[in-house]
């Protein structure tokens, strides 16, 4: 089976594809710690970052990833573009495609927008988060971080807590972890739990306490106020009391369990500051991994022919 041309979600990707991206990311991780953080791997290649939604981590790390690979990187600001004059997504991407990019990295508020674009362009498309559907590079960087900090990816017990229904991070994490035999538990307020838990292959747990019992990894998620629509929580204080992770509750997990959060965090809501900044936290490791993993993804999408990714 040939490798998928795009990275939209994990459809068509197997365990070996994921491991190959993580292994390339290991080589690139070291590049970012050198005094000169640049390799010529993607010299002459062009990457366009097209973000219709706000982002700090994903947008910056894709930009750094492209630049550290020596690609020409264009960050298109949607707010200052002809999108504001009413140009459609289809016309926007066909216009960008006419400038011959090798990769379009895109984030969009509508689930499926990157699939729509992938059908209309010849270049590779990388999904940097679409609506409530998928965020595959987040799942890859989480896997990279887990493999480094826990020492393995196989057969883990992972709890994902919070607004699961609106979380593309939870969906992509569940999809990837399933390839490695994980038991994935989810918990959160009933209105924010997924209707398709069985299809996702996750176990719905009634309380944070039951979800945390004996886990190797806990991923805390932000309440996504921007996607809640009519769904309302009684109060953030109540939410924090019921589903907020603190040091005492973390004691229910396996000794040495890893605490993850994709960011941005609401400190004091889903995670206490002492846990967010404590020794179990992998939050900043995740951010650092984001650059290496996105270098590996861009290399896979645009870097055919280069043998050693970190030296090419
Ligand atoms: N994790 C994540 O997607 O963060 P940003 O929204 O800041 O990119």
What is the mean pLDDT of the segment spanning 27-38?
96
Query: Is 77's pLDDT higher than 90?
Result: no
Q: Given this model, what pLDDT does residue 236 score? A: 87
pLDDT, tens digit, 9 for 90 and up, residues 279-299? 999 999 999 999 999 999 999
Q: Given this model, what pLDDT does residue 306 score? A: 64
Residue partners of 161: CB distance under 8 A and separation at least 6? 186, 187, 188, 208, 211, 218, 219, 220, 221, 243, 245, 270
Atom 6 (ligand 1) nearest CA: 55
Q: Catalytic residue, from 6, 68, 107, 147: name it.
A: 107
CATH value of 136-283 in 3.40.50.150, 3.40.50.1370, 3.30.360.30, 1.10.3720.10:
3.40.50.1370
135 is catalytic: yes
Residues with CB under 6 A from ligand 1: 55-58, 129, 138, 262-264
Q: Catalytic residue, from 6, 45, 46, 58: name it.
A: 58
Q: Catalytic residue, from 68, 135, 222, 294: name it.
A: 135
Atom of ligand 1 nearest to the CA of 58: 8
pLDDT, tens digit, 9 for 90 and up, residues 44-72? 999 999 999 999 999 999 999 999 999 99
pLDDT, tens digit, 9 for 90 and up, residues 193-223? 988 888 889 999 999 999 999 999 999 999 8
- Top-level class of domain 15-134+287-302: alpha beta
107 is catalytic: yes
Residue intervals of the chain classified under CATH 3.40.50.1370 are 15-134+287-302, 136-283
């Amino acid at each position: 089976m040939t490798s998928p041309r795009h990275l939209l979600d994990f459809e068509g990707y197997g365990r070996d594809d994921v491991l190959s991206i993580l292994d390339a990311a290991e080589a690139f991780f070291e590049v970012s710690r050198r005094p000169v953080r640049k390799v010529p791997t993607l010299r002459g290649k062009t990457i366009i970052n097209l973000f219709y939604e706000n982002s700090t981590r994903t947008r910056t790390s894709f930009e750094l990833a492209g630049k550290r690979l020596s690609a020409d990187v264009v960050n298109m600001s949607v707010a200052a573009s002809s999108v504001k004059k009413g140009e459609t997504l289809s016309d926007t991407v066909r216009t960008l495609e006419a400038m011959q990019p090798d990769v379009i990295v895109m984030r969009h508020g509508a689930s499926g927008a990157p699939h729509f674009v992938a059908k209309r362009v010849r270049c590779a498309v990388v999904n940097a988060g679409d609506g409530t559907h998928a965020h595959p590079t987040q799942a890859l960087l989480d896997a990279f971080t887990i493999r480094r900090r826990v020492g393995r990816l196989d057969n883990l017990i992972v709890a994902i807590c919070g607004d699961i229904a609106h979380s593309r991070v939870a969906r992509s994490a569940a999809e990837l972890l399933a390839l490695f035999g994980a038991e994935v538990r989810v918990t959160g307020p009933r209105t924010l739990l997924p209707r398709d838990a069985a299809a996702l292959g996750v176990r719905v747990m009634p309380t944070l306490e039951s979800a945390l019992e004996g886990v190797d990894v806990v991923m805390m998620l932000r309440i996504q106020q921007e996607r809640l629509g009519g769904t309302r929580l009684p109060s953030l204080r109540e939410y924090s009391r019921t589903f907020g992770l603190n040091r005492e509750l973390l004691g229910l997990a396996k000794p040495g369990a890893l605490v993850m959060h994709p960011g941005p965090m609401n400190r004091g809501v889903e995670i206490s500051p002492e846990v967010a900044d404590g020794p179990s936290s992998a939050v900043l490791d995740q951010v650092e991994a984001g650059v290496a993993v996105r270098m590996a993804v861009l290399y896979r999408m645009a870097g055919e022919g280069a043998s050693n990714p970190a030296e090419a």
